[in-house]
Amino acid sequence: MLTPESSKKAAMLVLGAALLAVLILSFVPVDRMKAIAAEGGPIENLSLVVLAFGTVAAGLRLWRARTRLWAAVTVMLFWMFLRELDYQKLFTPRSIESIGFYSNPQVPLQWKLAAIAALLPFGIAALHLLLTTARHLRSRPGVLWTWRYPIGAAVILMIVATTAEKVLSPRFLFVEETGELAFAALVVVLVLQAVSGSGRTATDPSPPTSPASKTSSPPNTLKVNESR
């Protein structure tokens, strides 16, 4: 079941594993390390396996639940899988996620329209997840702090991967690839926890302040509304 405590354990485990992997790879000879971290290398392939597994798990949950929420989760996991395959720049001279692709006059209009059509399902899924999250945060302002560990871990991993790609030398390519793998693993673990506990309610671990609070107000709970 996906709870604040289970997500905290997942975040700590993934961060610890990522740090250990980076430390080990830093002692690997340069040539071997480059082969491990290269495009199509073991780290990237492991990321693909993790994301494929997560997409299938979410898809199976979608098949049973038939909800917009699980549809959006499945679509976004599939997009992460495609991005790991460089789908966004596989058939075009530059990434279809970049503004430069659409502002470049040398790119035919039909290519731009095809790119927009290809990205549309993923954009709709991302928007649905953002709106669902925003509604949840408005109804329960303190929930962001409750889930600070997985959120913080995800942000840290994204920053590390992005910074390593743009700042560090190719010698440290393994930092970027390890960060991306860890981010994918964290997302998939959280999804699997949600899949295993869908429809059940996770009680907020913080105890009530007094016995009277138990009768005057219902306990704080976190429940995934799958009808959205």
Rounded to 10 degrees, the C-alpha dihedral 156/158/159/163 comes to 140
Three-class SS string for the chain?
CCCHHHHHHHHHHHHHHHHHHHHHHCCCCHHHHHHHHCCCCHHHHHHHHHHHHHHHHHHHHHHHHCCHHHHHHHHHHHHHHHHHCCHHHCCCCCCCCCHHHHHCCCCCHHHHHHHHHHHHHHHHHHHHHHHHHHHHHHHCCCHHHHCHHHHHHHHHHHHHHHHHHHHCCHHHHHHHHHHHHHHHHHHHHHHHHHHHHCCCCEECCCCCCCHHHHHHCCCCEECCCCCC
What pLDDT band is residue 214 in, cutting at 50, 70 and 90? very low
Mean of all residue pLDDT scores within the chain: 85
- Residue type at 59 in one-letter notation: G
Residue 182 has pLDDT above 60, yes or no: yes
pLDDT score, position 166: 85
As a whole number of angstroms, the distance between CA 47 and CA 14 comes to 13
pTM for the full predicted model: 0.82
Rounded to 10 degrees, the C-alpha dihedral 65/67/70/76 comes to 150
pLDDT score, position 205: 40
What pLDDT band is residue 226 in, cutting at 50, 70 and 90? low
Instruction: State the average pLDDT over residues 167-193.
Output: 92
Task: Decide the pairing of beta strands 202-203 and 221-222.
Answer: antiparallel
Highest-confidence segment of 51-60, 188-197, 213-222: 51-60
Q: What is the pLDDT of residues 106-158, one digit of tens each?
A: 989 999 999 999 999 999 999 999 999 999 888 887 888 889 999 999 999 99
Phi, psi of 106 (to 5 degrees): -80, -15
What pLDDT band is residue 213 in, cutting at 50, 70 and 90? very low
Return the domain boundaries, the chain. 4-87+123-200
According to DSSP, the residues that pair with 221 across neighbouring strands are 203
Three-class SS string for 145-178?
HHCHHHHHHHHHHHHHHHHHHHHCCHHHHHHHHH
Tokens of 120: 């549309």
pLDDT score, position 117: 94
What pLDDT band is residue 212 in, cutting at 50, 70 and 90? very low
As a whole number of angstroms, the distance between CA 9 and CA 5 comes to 6
Q: What is the pLDDT of residues 40-81, one digit of tens each?
A: 899 999 999 999 999 999 999 999 999 999 999 999 999 999
Q: How far apart are the first and last CA of the chain?
A: 19
